[in-house]
Amino acid sequence: MAQAQDKNSQGTERFYLTTPIYYVNARPHLGHAYSTIVCDAIARRKRALGIDTWFLTGTDEHGQKIERSAKLAGRTPHEFATAISGEFRALWDQLGLTYDDFIRTTEDRHKRSVQHLFATLRDRGYIYKGSYTGQYCVFDELYVDGPPGTPCPDCGRITETVSEENYFFKLSAFEHRLLEFYEANPAFMQPESTRREVISFVRGGLKDLSVSRTSFSWGIPVPGDEKHVIYVWLDALANYITALGYGTENDEKFKKYWPADIHLIGKEISRFHCVYWPAFLMAAGIEPPRSVRANGWLLFDQGKMSKSRGNIVRAETVHAVLGSDALRYFLLREIPFGQDGNFSFDALVQRYNGDLANGYGNLVSRVVNMVHKYFGGVVQEPGGESAAETALRQSAQRTLSEFATQFDDLNFSDALKTLWALVAETDGYLTANAPWKKPADRSDADHVALQARVLATAAEAIRIITALVYPVLPDAAAKVWRQLGQGEIADAAKASFLTQLAWGGLKPGTRFADPAPLFPRAEKDAVERMVAMEEENSKSVIEAAGGPFAAQAQLAAAPAPIQEPKKKAEKKPMEETKPTPAPEAAPAYSVPAATSATPAAAPAAATTAPQAAPSSPAPAPEAQTASPQVITIDDFAKVELRVAQVLVAERIPKADKLLRLEVDLGYEKRQILAGIAQYYEPEKLIGRKIVIVANLAPRKMRGLESNGMLLAASLPPDGAPVLAGFLEDVPLGARLK
């Protein structure tokens, strides 16, 4: 096996980290930006610590899913992939991400190297030919056990039956070796939930894995048997070594950087990275990566932000309104790494104003301005330390080590909390010592000495904070570094400035540059501007439908159900546009529907009957009595209708009209109370796919919470409900638009 190297040929430490390579079936969104930004922050810190770092990202361009998306868009797969891959790369550049290499799996360097890996696995006896008949999920490019019609365990879509002569990888031979490997390398998979999941998957037994396909051609041909293309996950995972030149004459980078220190991935692709990938590598005689770290999901509008769900937010929007530092800070501070986290424009602006504009930005501006005002911009000799300076210095010294431990553990949120405690303490120190105020009983000389000491001490704390925060706020840190008279922070990073970072580095006599604004306070309309930009983008995507990229564009950026900014909702209550039906006028299929006070609940109740009952024999009562008010497409877009499957249905004691349902939306499970007990036997509902209003405010009934509403036609004369459904099979969570 290739030996792990901790040092490069110059004896410097080396560090290799990777993002997943992103599918090119749709445009990048904030979820992709999240993983890439996390890697960028890690890479920046490692480099500034003098570690020879290699940061790889790229795009995953082969497979049936891409082939189909390209066809829908009327493009060749290669044209299609080139366009979307270009968008990923352009976005990373716009956000200033410092990747060292960007690999596309359609590049020759990758193809040749993947073929070499395949041939190596075959030569070593781990690949054989056989035939496969079974289920396959094209969306996740995943083989699934079970009979025809089995849904994909990852996305809930119904799998397709494939029957092919295939090459197989002897995955079964690695069950014990993998378990031993996990045991011997407890830090290999994190977080713990991922580790547990993967171990239990492997303990459940591993079957050999089909690693070639013949039913389509958009892939890398199997060497020597070109009617087969290599399984897209074998192709994709290999990018981590092909980008380093594995299997070619030019393999110095492979020798220098492999094994990877961190494969950073989203938690949904842990199995591929923690089971298949180390098994492929072991079979090829290559050392497995040192660690796979899974980030949680960025949620928006109650669900995982994803192109197929259509609830995406684009990083470009946040970048345009608040800048990329604000986005980086929010993602790293708000979401404990490894856990799911909510994204909302409100929370983003709150963090921006609270921590950046009023916190760090304000502190820097106060100190830099006072150094200019009182000392012509020159740092003074601080003189002796009083108890207040000793306390601040000791806090800064503690912060240096705590921040390092937390950040290097990928515990970014706590690291930033630690750092912001120092921001607050420095702010408090300034306020307590008030260098701008001279008490009557203090001599002029004493006052100047205090000003000199307090400003030099606060500026030194800011220098430490700025150096530490540089990987997270590279643009702001660069500005502050200049203002502190320290020159270019990028040059300092190249000179490994974090290795020498210690209290006392700000020398008396240093001349500050002119103050410059860092984080101008976000005005009240910042949220509305971002919402409007996303809505505008969704519209332009819809208008573009019919163009060559229509299908892809719809997938990528279909109207995002952006949450209304609070202010707007308050000004324009739903009642103004559509009267809430009186409880008795609307059948209570779902408890929150008719009586809920939330604005969002009203249109949901009113839209129930007519749209959901194409074969309804007569207009539903609501249709006859409903207000003739017309709504806009934007109004409709606020109602999130989704496909769900009933998992549990039961009567509620002493409530003869209500059923308690547990439904699966594919991405989450929910409880809904529905007033259909007189019309539906609970056991007949189990397994049935229904339509629900997914963004209805929760409501409590008989001590139980109801999270959503079922859609049903309401039949005359008494409004008997008939649940909406589909003739075709539809995946769970699919949105109705």
Catalog residues that contact ligand ME8 under the rule CB under 6 A.
Answer: 20-23, 31-32, 34-35, 60, 236-237, 239, 265-266, 269, 295, 297-298, 304-306
Please give the Cα distance from 85 to 267 (Å, whole number). Answer: 22
Place of tokens 């399984």: 231
Please identify, using beta-carbon distances, which residue of 301 and 427 lies nearer to ligand ME8: 301
Q: How many Cβ atoms are within 10 Å of 376's Cβ, its own excluded?
A: 9
Asked if residues 462 and 426 have their Cβ atoms less than 8 Å apart, the reply is yes
Please give the Cα distance from 396 to 402 (Å, whole number). Answer: 10
Please identify, using beta-carbon distances, which residue of 32 and 122 lies nearer to ligand ME8: 32
Q: What is the largest CA-CA distance in the chain?
A: 94
H-type alpha helices, 104-174? 108-123
Taking the complex as a whole, how short is the minimal distance between the CB of residue 265 and ligand ME8, in angstroms? 5
Taking the complex as a whole, how short is the minimal distance between the CB of residue 159 and ligand ME8, in angstroms? 17
Taking the complex as a whole, how short is the minimal distance between the CB of residue 425 and ligand ME8, in angstroms? 33
Taking the complex as a whole, how short is the minimal distance between the CB of residue 151 and ligand ME8, in angstroms? 18
Q: What is the sign, positive or negative, of the torsion defined by CA atoms of 509, 510, 511, 514? A: negative
Place of tokens 């039913």: 215
Taking the complex as a whole, how short is the minimal distance between the CB of residue 489 and ligand ME8, in angstroms? 28
Please identify, using beta-carbon distances, which residue of 194 and 451 lies nearer to ligand ME8: 194
Place of tokens 């009182």: 374
Please identify, using beta-carbon distances, which residue of 35 and 115 lies nearer to ligand ME8: 35
Please identify, using beta-carbon distances, which residue of 235 and 402 lies nearer to ligand ME8: 235
Taking the complex as a whole, how short is the minimal distance between the CB of residue 337 and ligand ME8, in angstroms? 11
Please identify, using beta-carbon distances, which residue of 375 and 667 lies nearer to ligand ME8: 667
CA 706 remoteness from chain centre: 28
Please give the Cα distance from 737 to 728 (Å, whole number). Answer: 16
Asked if residues 64 and 141 have their Cβ atoms less than 8 Å apart, the reply is yes
Taking the complex as a whole, how short is the minimal distance between the CB of residue 560 and ligand ME8, in angstroms? 13
Please identify, using beta-carbon distances, which residue of 338 and 485 lies nearer to ligand ME8: 338
Report helix, strand or coil for 383: coil
Taking the complex as a whole, how short is the minimal distance between the CB of residue 677 and ligand ME8, in angstroms? 37
Residue of 50, 59, 52, 51 whose CA lies nearest to 20: 59
Please identify, using beta-carbon distances, which residue of 39 and 379 lies nearer to ligand ME8: 39
Please give the Cα distance from 341 to 31 (Å, whole number). Answer: 11
Q: Show Cβ contacts of residue 707 under 8 Å, excluding neighbours closer than 6 positions.
A: 670, 671, 672, 696, 698
Please identify, using beta-carbon distances, which residue of 61 and 664 lies nearer to ligand ME8: 61
Q: Which residues does residue 265 pair with via DSSP β-bridges, in sequence order?
A: 294
Q: Which residues does residue 102 pair with via DSSP β-bridges, in sequence order?
A: 57
* Angle at the Cα of 554 from the Cα atoms of 551 and 558, rounded to 5 degrees: 170
Residue of 95, 96, 107 whose CA lies nearest to 21: 107
Taking the complex as a whole, how short is the minimal distance between the CB of residue 340 and ligand ME8, in angstroms? 8
Please identify, using beta-carbon distances, which residue of 118 and 470 lies nearer to ligand ME8: 118
Taking the complex as a whole, how short is the minimal distance between the CB of residue 696 and ligand ME8, in angstroms? 22
Q: Show Cβ contacts of residue 681 under 8 Å, excluding neighbours closer than 6 positions.
A: none
Please identify, using beta-carbon distances, which residue of 197 and 425 lies nearer to ligand ME8: 197
Six token digits for residue 425: 């303490």
Taking the complex as a whole, how short is the minimal distance between the CB of residue 178 and ligand ME8, in angstroms? 18
